[in-house]
Amino acid sequence: MLPPTFLLRTAPTAVARKSSSLVKAAAVSSSSSSETSFQRPLHHHQDQQSKSFTTINKQTPYNLCFLRHGQSTWNRDNRFIGWTDTPLTDDGVLEARLAGKMLQNSGILFDEVHTSLLRRSIRTVNLVLMEMGQEYIPVYKHYRLNERHYGDLVGKNKKETVKMFGKDQVKRWRRSYDEPPPPMAFHHEYHPAKDPRYRHMTHLIPESESLQCTKARSSVYWDEVIAPALQQGKTVLVVGHENNLRSLIMGLEDISKEDIINLCLPRAVPLAYRLDENLKPLDRPDGKLDEATGFLRGEWLGGDDAVAEILERDRKQVYDTTVEQNLEMDESRKNWSDWMNLIVGEASPEAKAKAERNDEKMVA
């Protein structure tokens, strides 16, 4: 049975011997002076940092971090989500808080955050910033950072769809560059036009999107908003969804149309980039691509091994039809939740109430 995301072994002795690298990332001291660690604020030339107060290392003022949201109800249920506004589960809240701990302890401080109009992403932002003590920075939301639209697949169980159409077809719908899923009819139960947040832009709602369509949408926001902020020397956090982040990373890393089908991203593990003046990734300290995906020069703050474990679990959850149980809901997931609550601690009642109020305000 494959361990769930960020699993800690059930036996305390086993945990003591070999704890998850994600937990280590969350628990490491922020005073670490390792050459590969992210440092506390450092000042650069005024022309580069005129509107910014932080950076994450001494090598470049251009720093960027991507983060996929925590587990939502339809992630848990293994359903295609798209633009449907599914909330975080309790485990999703825990994942987001753990991501915030990793970011806090890495030494990163952000100048601004960019996210989608969907509350699973918005609440992840709120929880991360509360863990970091950075609730005061600007948060910008835009539909161009929404997840890709999964068309008529929205609401369907992923593994049942694999059984019906086959692994290869579903993988092309989920991960290929230019093959969109079947279109969504206007009378579909989950059509976004029924959602009041899109009432002024119903003509822009797609029937379905390939990654190519998603990239065309998100690249406008990158070119007009994110890139200019980075060029001003701001340290930027982008919190989003697997496919809209894949579309941005595809451009950043120059991943080919043929190779992008093999890039998958885990939930709630920060991916940090150091960029040059042309906003292209600098090499990792080891000079290699990440071992989890084999494509990236960014650094997983939870560690490559932990990310590889998560991605393998996610692969089995969708494509392995011999695995009958839901890997997001089995006993090992409960063990993970219990251990993570010990690691990050219970959120205070004030923090919980604040997050819920912020969620309602941001979605309204």
Task: Give me the count of residues in the chain.
Answer: 364
- Tell me if residue 79 falls in helix, strand or coil: strand
Within a 10 A sphere around the Cβ of 18, how many other Cβ atoms? Answer: 9
Residues placed in the known binding site: 68-75, 120, 147-150, 158, 174-175
pLDDT surpassing 50 at residue 47: no
Could you list the residue range(s) of the whole structural domain that residue 224 is in? 38-363
CB 337 within 8 Å of CB 90: yes
- Domain assignment present for 19: no
Burial of 189 (0-12, 13-18, 19+ CB in 10 A): exposed
Within a 10 A sphere around the Cβ of 212, how many other Cβ atoms? Answer: 18
- Residue 259 sits in a domain whose CATH number is 3.40.50.1240
- Judge whether 346 counts as a catalytic residue: no
- Domain assignment present for 16: no
Q: Give me the sign of the Cα torsion angle 315, 184, 218, 123.
A: negative
Give the whole-angstrom CA distance, residue 5 versus residue 264: 14
User: Catalytic pick from 69, 114, 191, 241?
Assistant: 69
Within a 10 A sphere around the Cβ of 301, how many other Cβ atoms? Answer: 27
Amino acid at 138: P
Least confident segment among 44-48, 260-264, 346-350: 44-48
pLDDT surpassing 90 at residue 116: yes
Cα dist. 219→55, 156, 226, 227 in Å?
A: 24, 28, 10, 10
- Domain assignment present for 10: no
User: What per-residue confidence (pLDDT) applies to 301?
Assistant: 94
- Domain assignment present for 233: yes
Give the count of alpha carbons within 13 A of 6, CB side only: 31
More confident residue, 61 or 204: 204
3-state SS string for 226-239: HHHHHHCCCEEEEE
- Judge whether 69 counts as a catalytic residue: yes
* Model-wide pTM > 0.75: yes
Phi, then psi, of 162 in degrees rounded to 5: -65, -45
Q: Which residue in 227, 199, 213, 212 sits closest to 114, CA to CA?
A: 227
Q: Where are the beta strands (DSSP E) in the chain?
A: 62-68, 112-115, 139-141, 235-240, 271-275, 299-300
pLDDT surpassing 70 at residue 354: no
- Domain assignment present for 202: yes
Q: Confidence band (pLDDT; 50, 70, 90) for 2? A: very low
Residues placed in the known binding site for substrate: 68-75, 120, 147-150, 158, 174-175
Within a 10 A sphere around the Cβ of 220, how many other Cβ atoms? Answer: 12
CB 231 within 8 Å of CB 279: yes
What's the average model confidence in pLDDT over 178-198?
97
What's the average model confidence in pLDDT over 179-205?
97
- Domain assignment present for 338: yes
- Domain assignment present for 315: yes
- Domain assignment present for 176: yes
Within a 10 A sphere around the Cβ of 156, how many other Cβ atoms? Answer: 15
How many structural domains is the chain composed of? 1
User: Catalytic pick from 95, 147, 253, 299?
Assistant: 147
Estimate the crossing angle of helix 304-319 against helix 158-165, to 10 degrees.
60
Least confident segment among 2-11, 46-55, 80-89, 243-252: 2-11
Burial of 119 (0-12, 13-18, 19+ CB in 10 A): buried
